[in-house]
Amino acid sequence: MELNLETVVERFIGFDPATLYEAAGHRGMVDPAIRPAWAGARLCGIASTVECPPGDNLMLHHAVAAARPGIIIVANLGGYLLTGAWGEILTAAAQAKGVAGLAVDGAVRDIEAIAERGFPVFSRGLAIGSCTKERFGTLDVPIQFGGVTVRPGDMVVGDADGIVVVEQERAEEVFEAASARRVREAEIMEELRKGKTTLELLRLPGLVKPGVPGK
């Protein structure tokens, strides 16, 4: 079932990526090396995809110009880390268009200025090098991003722990499973407060005697 952007944000904004990853059957985890570029950055929204040749950010400018309010730009820069493909100018342009965040498999720059603006950015690295703006790539087609296939319309959620991508047709299924996990986790927390152990609650294997694994 495909959800519109407003419904995605409303339903998933309170979930962390780890819970969604487990609810999705351990699918959709982006390479953990792609991290928040500033502390506190969070992503939740529908992907608009971009692919750029390494060292050139022309397509990121096109992506911002074509962006719908509320989308997350997800860009494959081939993991190239010697040029900052996104900085303060593109951030200002993106905020003017209502873009909700950026995730790039590559490097960015101007992070202090971007953090001051409160614009969520996730990247593989930082670099002060400048990009060319000459070579075309692609917009809004399936891309490879940190080991995960991302298609336009897929959901992207990210926080300090990393990023998960939820396939658009599985959004309802994953939401229901994540909601059930949240209820179960609340029950576990309550039982822990009452003195039970994680061994009991998670039904983990016991020891025959201290220090000796059970058979």
pTM, to two decimals: 0.88
- 75 in any annotated domain: yes
User: In terms of DSSP H, where are the helices of 24-142?
Assistant: 58-66, 88-97, 111-117
11 vs 16: CA distance, rounded Å? 12
User: In terms of DSSP H, where are the helices of 29-132?
Assistant: 58-66, 88-97, 111-117
- 208 in any annotated domain: no
Residue 199 has pLDDT above 80, yes or no: yes
Residue scoring higher pLDDT (3 or 127): 127
- CATH code of 36's domain: 3.50.30.40
Maximum alpha-carbon separation in the chain: 68
Residue 48 has pLDDT above 90, yes or no: yes
- 76 in any annotated domain: yes
- 70 in any annotated domain: yes
In percent, the amount of the chain with pLDDT more than 90 equals 76
Residue 13 amino acid letter: I
pLDDT for the residue 1: 42
- 124 in any annotated domain: yes
- 163 in any annotated domain: yes
- 46 in any annotated domain: yes
Q: How many independent structural domains does the chain possess?
A: 1
Q: Please give the residue range of the domain that contains residue 45.
A: 5-174
What is the per-residue pLDDT across 10-40, written as a single tens digit (0 to 9) for each? 789 889 999 999 999 999 999 999 999 999 9
